[in-house]
Amino acid sequence: MSRAEDILEKLTLRDKISFISQMVMERADLSEYGMKNFLLADGPSGIRMMKETDQEDIYDTLPLTCYPSASTYASSWDRELVWNIGQHLGREAQTQNVSVLLGPGCNIKRSPLGGRNFEYYSEDPVLTAELATEYIKGLQKEDTGACIKHFAGNNQETRRMTINEKIDERTLHEIYLRAFEKPIKEGSPYMVMTAYNRINGEYGAESNVTLRDILRKEWGYKGCVVTDCFGAHDLNKALINGLNLQMAGESPERLEEEITEMLQKGTLSIEQLDQAIRPTIEMAVRCEEVSRKESYDPEEHHNFARKAAEESMVLLKNKDDFLPLNAEDSIAVIGGMGKNLRFQGGGSSHVNPYRLEQVYESIVKLCPQAIYAEGYTDDISSGEMIEEAAVVAEKCDKVILCMGLPEIYESEGYDRVHMKLPQCQEELLQRILEVNKNVAVVLFNGAPVEMPWEEQVSAVLEAYLPGEAGGGAVANVLFGKVNPSGRLAETFPFKISDTPCYLNFPGRWNEVTYAEGIYVGYRYYDKKEMPVRYPFGYGLSYTTFQYSNLQIIKKDKEIQVSLELKNTGNRGGKEVVQLYIGKPGKWFECPIQELADFQKIWLDAGETKQIKFILKKDSFGIYDTDIHEWVVESGTYRILAGSSSRNISLEGQVEWTEPKEYPDITEHTNLEDMIRLFGKEQQLRELFKDNPVSLGFLERCMSEDPLTQSMGTLMSFHTLRRIDNKLTEEDIQRMLKELNQRS
Ligand code: GLC
């Protein structure tokens, strides 16, 4: 018998009930069961280690490494780097006796206004899934559990605990669930945290669809499912559907009353209760059986946090090679964030950093003559502050202007209502441009901002929320110690009204409709052929790369793709080779292209490497809501390779044939589709040989005259049964059977 079963057997009913709740955010004492204490702690970019379990100030925590935010390191597109972020976090968690770290956050960025977008990876489910899988593997390599969250559909903070999201089935599977599937199936996180919100009327903590049917049955997840704080509603339904743990819930006394009543009423059996608490006990046992590391090197972790930030920053503009800077340059560093780094988001992910590296102090180490002016403090400035900054800017050849969103603008619990930077910062920029045209802007923001000034400046470096060592990382990129290699994991639209869900975010009252369906992010902008400020996958380097020699080989169950990548510049650097697929879209509405895979590659100056990809069937899949399964259309697929979704260098095609053509012909399929999409003209002539009326409509389909033609093409068995008195019900069923016969 397993240790968990042994413990379970000895539990009284009261003990069992105690395992359903209050087991988190505090060091639960399990000693009476012969188990070590057990602790969950936030968060995805650093450990929010409370000093006292029931302290009021959730920000008064122990100083521990604050790594770049998820939106920042997602821009690294670097699986190995993200694995190492997980590993570093796992090691620190071990030394704090944290059993499970509450991350990664895998929700899709439906709108740039989402308040927790800084905590999430991307607008794309494949990039999200790939990086989250690595994070989980790295974390759990150190025997610290991961808790992937928030399953599923936490795409806004507005009314997050009650909102009902109306999401069609295909969109739910292809976008919002897909981001979680690989991390859960392949990463095997210790825990899954359910989302607060409802999807199609059901709360995440108890859903028949996402929790019971998808997570537990279809994906076969056996780990521990926990609610978000106070996130349970119908606890009876939740426990039966696969929930194991309330992350804080009602008092033990009230919980005991509630469960006892369920048992007495027979709406919950003792076997179901045992089944509900077993994963928690198994996980607690798993957590205590690992070897605890006693220490870590905070300086090494700090330096790694800087490296992670360096690898993630995105160089968005670099006119006339304005960057990198030289140590001899005459430089003004301006902006409150130059001395007061904006490095993380607000809410439960907040970390008390080990130590901060500021931008200005880091630049001065590389360029001692650099001078500074504050210009603004967050979103407050004055004429005097702006004039002081203008005087400093005028004295120097080049200006580094640090702009960004104050932390209060981006947090758990509320969404942004616009995408603008603080007005005082833009006023400062315009004043500086009056005295000095040579301006590089460094941005500190967890999600896209509008940049009406972009054409006026020489360079833009997107530093996102770079973590505690972000200042040093910015300086190293600006001075070329590091060649920037970040690529946007989300589209930067020109303005919020361009976004796919603009008319449906954050919804009205307690309901929001995902009317854009699968057209989230670049899927939307590409399909609409819309210009964007910066596209998904975009980012510049201090060198250049050339793509050539695309080879596509169809194997039985996979597509082998290779290409050659050359560094055509004069310094080494990393390129993110992105592979997109364009589906035939014959039977299903499809985006122009969808990310299928990616690789980040270092190349020395002048070096060429062959890059290989293996595309499996699931890269070509479409969720067919008629049969509620993933399918692959037969047809011609476009394979596209490039350095962003809007900078495709190579394109090829490959045929994929599936035994079953989609969809079946039914009595509602018209003659035009049967002829042109299914190629059934000859077969229909044969079938209609004894039905001259139906044959006559078939002939009309061939007419040159469009009106006559339409009299045929619009017909279906549904209508022919009314018109052709010789066409019996048996005839129709027989004909449909023959038409759908697959060789
Ligand atoms: C919060 C967050 C969740 C966090 C939890 C514990 O409500 O939604 O991400 O892990 O509570 O702090």
For 665-697, the pLDDT digits (tens) are 999 999 999 999 899 999 999 999 999 999 999
Is residue 102 lining ligand 1, measured as CB closer than 6 Å?
A: yes
Cβ pair 322, 458 in contact under 8 A: yes
Residue whose structure tokens are 């059934």: 680
| 253 Rama sector, left if φ>0, alpha if ψ -120 to 50, beta otherwise | alpha
Residue 348 alpha carbon to ligand 1 centre in Å: 6
Secondary structure in 3-state letters for 455-493: HHCCEEEECCCCCCCHHHHHHHHHCCCCCCCCCCCCCEC
How many CB atoms lie under 10 A from the CB of residue 46? Answer: 30
Token code pair at residue 355? 């130590």
pLDDT at residue number 210: 98
Measured from the Cα of 58, ligand 1's closest atom is 12
Quote the strand ranges of 426-582, DSSP E. 439-444, 459-462, 511-513, 545-554, 558-567, 573-582
Is residue 520 lining ligand 1, measured as CB closer than 6 Å?
A: no
Cβ neighbours of residue 202 closer than 8 Å, sequence gap 6 or more: 208, 209, 210
Cβ pair 233, 250 in contact under 8 A: no
* Residue 292 pLDDT exceeds 90: no
pLDDT at residue number 289: 78
Cβ pair 495, 525 in contact under 8 A: no
Q: What percent of the chain has pLDDT over 90?
A: 89
Is residue 42 lining ligand 1, measured as CB closer than 6 Å?
A: yes
Is residue 149 lining ligand 1, measured as CB closer than 6 Å?
A: yes
- Residue range 300-312: mean pLDDT, rounded: 98
Ligand 1 atom 7, closest CA: 229
pLDDT at residue number 714: 96
Q: Which range is least confidently modeled, 13-27, 58-72, 370-384, 620-634?
A: 13-27
Residue 249 alpha carbon to ligand 1 centre in Å: 13
Q: What is the mean pLDDT of the chain?
A: 95
Query: Which of 42, 78, 124, 228 is an active site residue?
Result: 228
Band of residue 25 on the pLDDT scale cut at 50, 70, 90 = low
Residue 457 alpha carbon to ligand 1 centre in Å: 39
Residue 195 alpha carbon to ligand 1 centre in Å: 10
User: Which tens digit of pLDDT belongs to each residue from 29-75?
Assistant: 677 777 777 788 998 999 998 887 667 787 888 999 999 999 999 99
Residue 228 alpha carbon to ligand 1 centre in Å: 6
Residue whose structure tokens are 């790369």: 545
Sign of the C-alpha dihedral computed for residues 370, 375, 377 and 379 taken in this order: negative
pLDDT at residue number 247: 87
- Residue range 120-137: mean pLDDT, rounded: 98
How many CB atoms lie under 10 A from the CB of residue 728? Answer: 12
Cβ neighbours of residue 440 closer than 8 Å, sequence gap 6 or more: 322, 323, 398, 399, 400, 401, 457, 458, 459, 460, 461, 478
Alpha-carbon distance values, 613 to 408, 551, 559, 596, 610 (Å): 42, 10, 8, 10, 10
Q: Which of 56, 162, 228 to mutate to test the pocket of ligand 1 (most atoms within 8 A of CB)?
A: 228
Alpha-carbon distance values, 737 to 587, 718, 726, 742 (Å): 20, 15, 18, 10
pLDDT at residue number 249: 79
pLDDT at residue number 27: 57
Cβ pair 206, 233 in contact under 8 A: yes
- Residue range 224-242: mean pLDDT, rounded: 96
Alpha carbon distance 296, 89 (integer Å): 10
Residue whose structure tokens are 């690294």: 76
* Residue 23 pLDDT exceeds 90: no
* C-alpha 669 chain-centroid distance: 38
Alpha carbon distance 451, 429 (integer Å): 11
Long-range contacts of 569-572 (CB under 8 A, 24+ apart): 569/541, 569/542, 569/543, 569/544, 569/545, 569/605, 570/543, 570/605, 571/483, 571/542, 571/543, 571/605, 572/483, 572/543, 572/602, 572/603, 572/604, 572/605, 572/607
Band of residue 662 on the pLDDT scale cut at 50, 70, 90 = confident
Q: Which of 412, 414, 415 to mutate to test the pocket of ligand 1 (most atoms within 8 A of CB)?
A: 412
Residue 229 alpha carbon to ligand 1 centre in Å: 6
* Residue 385 pLDDT exceeds 70: yes
Ligand 1 atom 4, closest CA: 348
Cβ pair 166, 514 in contact under 8 A: yes
User: Which tens digit of pLDDT belongs to each residue from 539-583?
Assistant: 999 999 999 999 999 998 899 999 999 999 999 999 999 999 999
Amino acid identity for residue 610 in this structure: Q
Is residue 435 lining ligand 1, measured as CB closer than 6 Å?
A: no
Q: Residue 264 in 3-state DSSP?
A: helix
Cβ pair 174, 622 in contact under 8 A: yes
- Residue range 636-640: mean pLDDT, rounded: 97
pLDDT at residue number 24: 54
Token code pair at residue 562? 């290779």
User: Which tens digit of pLDDT belongs to each residue from 238-265?
Assistant: 999 999 999 877 888 999 999 999 999 9
Alpha carbon distance 701, 687 (integer Å): 16
Alpha carbon distance 648, 653 (integer Å): 14
Token code pair at residue 112? 């740039």
Ligand 1 atom 9, closest CA: 348
Catalytic annotation on 397?
Answer: no
User: Which tens digit of pLDDT belongs to each residue from 139-188?
Assistant: 999 999 999 999 999 999 999 999 999 999 999 999 999 999 999 999 99
User: Which tens digit of pLDDT belongs to each residue from 187-205?
Assistant: 999 999 999 999 999 999 9
pLDDT at residue number 57: 80
**Residue 703: burial class (beta carbons within 10 Å; 0-12, 13-18, 19+):** middle
User: Which tens digit of pLDDT belongs to each residue from 434-481?
Assistant: 999 999 999 999 999 999 999 999 999 999 999 999 999 999 999 999
Band of residue 627 on the pLDDT scale cut at 50, 70, 90 = confident
Q: Is the peptide bond before 150 cis (omega within 30 degrees of 0)?
A: yes
Q: Residue 726 in 3-state DSSP?
A: coil
